[in-house]
Structure 1
Amino acid sequence: MTDVLAAAYPWIKALHVMAVISWMAGLFYLPRLFVYHAERGQSGAEPAASLVIMEDKLLRLIMNPAMIVSWIAGLLLVLTPGIVDFSQLWPWTKAAGVLGMTWFHMWLAGQRRALLAGHGLAGRRYRMMNELPTLFMVVIVLSVIVKF
């Protein structure tokens, strides 16, 4: 198994990077849609109806699959011999960042349900929360590239 992972390493890494880019795009865009929904959406009328469709398709068709592929490819990279040294700090800080991004993804899914039920947050709050994926990205990229 480890020989297969080592041979497939560049392909798995490429898949991982593509999936993470797609996931991050959704993590940046969905809170922005929530801002528009909270500030301009009237329930059952335009623009709320269009925003609901956009939010659903972004989460269900792009973000969820991208997160799953990111996790699977990432775990395969971790299992590849010689890639991760768990005696160093960087794998742990990266893992914390990935868990934070996953929590944010799940929080967004919950907020989508809350908006549909008419219990969403104010647009300003969604604007503030929109900064979290950037913080997680900084931690993850610095962990992997700088290996701090």
Structure 2
Amino acid sequence: MLWIKALHIVFVTSWFAGLFYLPRIFVNLAQEGAGPTTERLLLMARKLYRFMTLLAVPAVVFGLILAYLQYSGPEGMKLPGWLHAKMLFVVLAIGYHHACGSLLKKFERGVNSRGHVFYRWFNEVPVLILLAAVILVVVKPF
């Protein structure tokens, strides 16, 4: 079980590194006009999004395996309240990930309608998701 936990932590950390960085690329894209810099940023964003997706899948799978190993028994799954709340934040992280993909497609089509200030605020969302998830896992408030 410790191997699975270690792999879960590594994949979550790597996935969130991408969730932190991709919106920073969006900030730069929103500030740039058309040109070679924009094409380079779009290439970086596309590659990062693909890589993030490859990291998100094992992060979620290893988390589900951990929950199953820890909380399943002969009477079925009995998940504590904090884990239900953490799973909500996992769903929010997945939704944020998909929102990043949608925004990337808008940049690729040249139809972005938001300014760099929006993306600076948008960039803070995964920090709050990660903070809540870590507090729930470590403190286990309920």
Cα shift at 1:123: 1.1
* Matches of 2:13 and 2:33, distance apart in 1: 29
- Quote the residue 1:144 is aligned against: 137
Cα shift at 1:85: 5.0
Matched, 1:110 2:99: no
Cα shift at 1:51: 0.3
Any stretches of 5+ residues in structure 2 without a counterpart? none
- Quote the residue 2:39 is aligned against: 49
The residue type equivalent to 2:85 in the other structure is T
- Quote the residue 1:123 is aligned against: 116
TM-score, length basis structure 1: 0.87
- Quote the residue 1:65 is aligned against: 54
* Matches of 1:90 and 1:59, distance apart in 2: 29
- Quote the residue 2:8 is aligned against: 16
Deviation >3 Å, runs of 4+: 81-85
Q: Secondary structure at the match of 2:102?
A: helix
CA RMSD of aligned residues (A): 1.4
The residue type equivalent to 1:90 in the other structure is W
- Would the aligned equivalents of 1:23 and 1:67 in 2 still touch at CA under 8 Å? yes
Q: Secondary structure at the match of 1:70?
A: helix
Aligned residues: 136
Cα deviations by residue, 1:3-45 (Å, 9 ceiling, x for unpaired): xxxxxx1111111000001101000000000010111141xx2
- Would the aligned equivalents of 1:94 and 1:143 in 2 still touch at CA under 8 Å? yes
Cα distance change, pair 89–40 in 1 and its aligned pair in 2 (3 A) = same
TM-score, length basis structure 2: 0.91
Q: 2:66 aligns with which of 74, 77, 87?
A: 77
Any stretches of 5+ residues in structure 1 without a counterpart? 1-8
Identity %: 33
- Would the aligned equivalents of 1:85 and 1:91 in 2 still touch at CA under 8 Å? no
- Quote the residue 2:25 is aligned against: 33
